[in-house]
Amino acid sequence: MKFDYSNRLSVVLGYVVLSIVAIFGAHYALLRFTSFDAAYYLFKIVDTKDFFIAHGRYISYFAQWPAVIAANLGVPLKLLLPIASLGYSFFFIFHYFLAVRFKTKENLYWLVVFLPLLALRFKFYSPISESILSLASISLFYVVMDNATREYSIKKWVYLFLLVITIYIGHPLAFMGAFMMILFHALWQKDYLNKTRLYALGITAVFFVAKMISVRSSGYESEKLNDATSNISKLLAAREHWVYIQLDNWILDECIWPLFAFFGAIVVLLYHKRVIPAVFLCGSYIAIKHIVTLVYWEGESLNMLHSYYAYLSIPWSLGIVYAASLIERKSFVLAFYLALSIQSIWEIREERFFFKDRLTYFDSLLNAYPESRKHLVPEGKLSTEKVHLTWAIPFGTMIYTSCENPKDAKTIFINRNSDGDEYLLKSQQNPSLFLGAAWYPYEIENSADLNSDYFILAPEPYKKHE
């Protein structure tokens, strides 16, 4: 495939942006893997030297393999952290590499860059999210579909089938994005009966039905689905719900420039008389806000909510990329892409202060009883605004304190029980006990069973913070 000069420069610029994000992620790897779900996932990987897959979202295999290999080689944790971080970054770089193989006059490979970048702020520091990994799959699916509708081939139909499988093994919300992208493509191309797109729509629908069946058999995801579909009156009340309000505040505080870019793109589309695609993108933007609110109606974790925010980048990115394709001055387009990427990376970087302060707060808890390596903190004595999510703190603090030396391992367990003494008594009866997540009895009876290459926890009772 041959590129003219502007295309070559555009491809290189995309690689540069993704590489900067990768380097940035590796540099802040300690912040990333001591936070929330990422801490739990990495703890399981290094402790078992194996992949850790939750809720059947096997897409994580493609991002976890560097960390798994490093753990099996006994790579020190200080080096394993950036390796694990790069695994998630390489996932997007590889999808970008594949996307540029498919010739598109709109430079659609930029979707692989923009989909995670434009709405990824706070969640950048918890990189394991399958919902974010799924953005790579649906962006590449769109690029291949666009190429295949122009230049039909059975081989590309096979590619589409394989990509739908990766969407299926990702986050359920990825299907929402895939359907929106397929419908937008039909409206843009105005050939509604194109056989390749109908094929893409058909196989996506089949796998979507299969996903809904599998979700029904999963307690966790079935609960989310029931929250979203249990009462149609929720749709009418969505704008008053705290999730919707939180989402609006987040957009205004942290994503105002991508939002302005999106609205500017809508103006360009309207100027070029692409009214129906422009209206569809605006409708998709509103629909995603409502869907996220319904899915997370009973939620309480800002960490998880930030995963869902990332799907706002679907209408934003489509609008920006297609509006840019209508602008003749390609040098202006590339300059704009670079500016928008730099602004997004800067906004992501600014989130580091919360995560640094979070580790400083853990230090203050650990230093309250410096002679103890195992701390039990009642939830009522915790400053939750400094840590947000509490269940993964035992794993995050283990990774944080063991980073330099596994012998320095310390852990903090947040006791959410009202009686306050159940876990303390357990640890006194069994000093070797390691207490993990409180949302189900995740306990290791003998801390000597931990992988000693990374975690060496002395057998002593937990010290309760009074």
Q: Are residues 327 and 193 in the same domain?
A: yes
Boundaries of domain holding 280: 5-350
324 lies in the same domain as 398: no
- Residue 260 vs residues 86, 120, 197, 307, 320: alpha-carbon distances, Å: 31, 16, 31, 21, 10
Q: Based on the fold, state whether residues 397 and 444 are members of the same structural domain.
A: yes
Q: Are residues 75 and 56 in the same domain?
A: yes
Whether 317 and 438 map to the same domain: the answer is: no
Same domain, 130 and 211: yes
In the β-sheet with 374-378, what is the strand arrangement from edge to edge? 411-415, 374-378, 463-464
Predicted pLDDT at 404: 94
The number of distinct structural domains making up the chain is: 2
- CA dist 318 and 185 (Å) reads 10
User: What is the predicted pLDDT for the residue at 431?
Assistant: 93
Asked if 338 and 385 sit in the same domain, the reply is: no
Do residues 374 and 410 make contact, with C-beta atoms less than 8 angstroms apart?
yes
**Do residue 276 and residue 359 come from a single domain?**
no
Same domain for 143 and 42?
yes
- d(CA 313, CA 255) in angstroms, rounded, equals 10
Same-domain pairing of 105 and 172: yes
pLDDT at 321: 96
Residue 415's DSSP bridge partners are 378
120-147 residues labelled b (16+ CB within 10 A) or e (exposed): bbbbbbbbbbbbbbbbbbbbbbbbbbbb
Please give the Cα distance from 293 to 284 (Å, whole number).
14
Q: Are 437 and 394 in contact (CB under 8 A)?
A: yes
172 lies in the same domain as 321: yes
Q: Which of 283, 316, 350 lies at the terminal end of a domain, its last residue? A: 350
Angle subtended at Cα 173 by Cα 170 and Cα 175, rounded to the nearest 5 degrees: 80
- pLDDT by residue for the chain (466 residues), tens digit each? 444 445 888 999 999 999 999 999 999 999 999 999 899 999 999 999 999 998 888 999 999 999 999 999 999 999 999 999 999 999 999 999 999 998 777 889 999 999 999 988 888 998 888 889 999 999 999 999 999 998 778 999 999 999 999 999 998 899 999 999 999 999 999 989 999 999 999 999 999 999 988 877 665 665 665 655 555 667 767 778 778 888 888 888 889 999 999 999 999 999 999 999 999 999 999 999 888 888 777 766 667 788 888 899 999 999 999 999 999 888 899 999 999 999 999 999 999 999 999 999 999 999 999 999 999 998 888 888 888 888 899 999 999 999 999 999 999 998 876 555 888 888 899 999 999 876 666 788 888 899 999 999 989 999 999 8
Residue at a domain's end among 317, 350, 383? 350
Q: What pLDDT, on a 0 to 100 scale, did the predictor assign at position 220?
A: 61
Helices (H), 100-129: 110-117
Distance CA 113, CA 136 (A): 9
pLDDT of residue 293: 83
Same domain, 371 and 289: no
End position of a domain, from candidates 350, 376, 399: 350
Helix-strand-coil percent breakdown of the chain, rounded to 5?
Answer: 70, 5, 25
| 329 phi and psi angles, rounded to 5 deg | -80, 90
